[in-house]
Amino acid sequence: MNQHLKPNNTCHCSDNAPKFLQIKMNNRCNGNCWFCIDKNNLAPQKMNVDKMISATLSEEEYQVVSITGGEPFLDFDVLLTLLKGIRPYKKEIIVNTNGSIISKDKVEKLNSLVDELRIALHHYDEEINSSIIGTPVRFSKIQKSLLGKNFKVTFNMTITSAMENNTNGFVDELTQLCHMLNVDGVKISELKYTGNSDFYPKYANGHIEAYHFFKHLNVIEYKDSKDLITKGCVDIFIYKGIEFLLKRLCGYKIVPQLQTFKVVYSNGEKADDWIYNFSNL
């Protein structure tokens, strides 16, 4: 395994890390991000929204729920049914999308059902971002769609080599784009270790640290971020009015950790982590 791609050999999650439930509600996606967490993931043939709701509600301690796919907006009616079924019982609900088929109508229907919408964004340049995601994503469409939103919107970004040639200006460009599109923040993730030693060398040419883009800037660090996650696993900054959350490369797969993560698949099956088939890599 490439030495530069190893995760931290210590798990930095604190005892206060929230219990987090991920719902993989469908398998269909109109994009093709090469680093997608769903590649070679378990893909049930049938989608059963009633079983997804039941499985989610059975995990009462898991009050933070994130819905992903596939692309959830491709099965928007199912997404709405799922949200209506779990909304009264969960403290925080996040929906993920690649942003390609977002619309003002969809956003307005989500208004009373979600706390946060995370839109995939892997570059501030529209064409580069579209090429990484694998389908056209138009910023003007996102801007118009978000005009009527009453929930938090965050760009969900994975660090790739497309960023490394513009270290100094990258955060400023992102900040400007957030203000233009009415987006509240950016979640930046380093590529994660998945438990298979062949994963990184095949899918990544090198590892870029998230903090690399911020070390030359005047940023305000949230003082309470250290109460949530210790020793730098997550850093939260405010820069020009935009919240940046930096999720550092995590060693959770190679060291003991408290059980704070579960998955519900589209057929209602539950697991303590993603179920991957690495034989196809």
Residue whose C-alpha is closest to residue 44's, from 251, 271, 204:
271
**Is residue 252 predicted with pLDDT exceeding 60?**
no
Query: Pairing state of beta strands 234-239 and 220-221?
Result: antiparallel
Q: In the chain, at which residue ranges do the beta strands (DSSP E only) sit? A: 20-24, 64-68, 92-97, 116-120, 152-158, 185-189, 220-221, 234-239, 242-247, 261-265, 270-271
| Tens of pLDDT, residues 158-174 | 877 777 666 678 889 99
Query: Pairing state of beta strands 64-68 and 234-239?
Result: unpaired
CA 170 and chain centroid, separation: 19
**Is residue 199 predicted with pLDDT exceeding 80?**
no
**Is residue 251 predicted with pLDDT exceeding 50?**
no
**Is residue 253 predicted with pLDDT exceeding 50?**
no
Rounded CA gap, 216 and 6, in Å? 25
* pLDDT band, very low/low/confident/very high, at 107 (cuts 50, 70, 90): very high
State mean pLDDT over 198-215: 53
Task: Show Cβ contacts of residue 1 under 8 Å, excluding neighbours closer than 6 positions.
Answer: 197, 198, 200, 201
| Tens of pLDDT, residues 170-197 | 889 999 999 999 999 999 887 654 444 3
Residue whose C-alpha is closest to residue 17's, from 180, 229, 238, 206:
229
* pTM score, whole prediction: 0.84
State mean pLDDT over 224-236: 50
DSSP conformation letters of 196-260: -TTHHHHH-S----GGGGTTTS--EEPTTHHHHS-TTSEEEEEETTEEEEEE----TTTS-----
Q: Residue 81 belongs to what H/E stretch?
A: helix 76-86
Residues 171, 244: contact at Cβ < 8 Å? yes
Rounded CA gap, 42 and 40, in Å? 7
Mean pLDDT of the chain: 81
Residue whose C-alpha is closest to residue 26's, from 87, 65, 63, 76:
76
**Is residue 258 predicted with pLDDT exceeding 80?**
no
Name the residue type at position 87. R
Residues 264, 24: contact at Cβ < 8 Å? yes
Return the minimum-mean-pLDDT range out of 89-98, 150-159, 170-179, 269-278: 269-278
More confident residue, 133 or 251: 133
The first and second tokens of residue 38, run together, are 């769903």
Rounded CA gap, 201 and 68, in Å? 26
Q: For 259, left (φ over 0), alpha (ψ -120 to 50), or beta?
A: beta
**Is residue 81 predicted with pLDDT exceeding 90?**
yes
Domains and CATH numbers, the chain: 19-183+254-280 (3.20.20.70)
Q: What's the pLDDT at 214?
A: 74
More confident residue, 195 or 78: 78
CA distances in angstroms from 142 to 28, 254, 255, listed in the order given: 21, 39, 40
Q: What's the pLDDT at 158?
A: 85
Q: What's the pLDDT at 16?
A: 52
Share of the chain above pLDDT 90, in %: 55
**Is residue 198 predicted with pLDDT exceeding 60?**
no
CA 149 and chain centroid, separation: 19
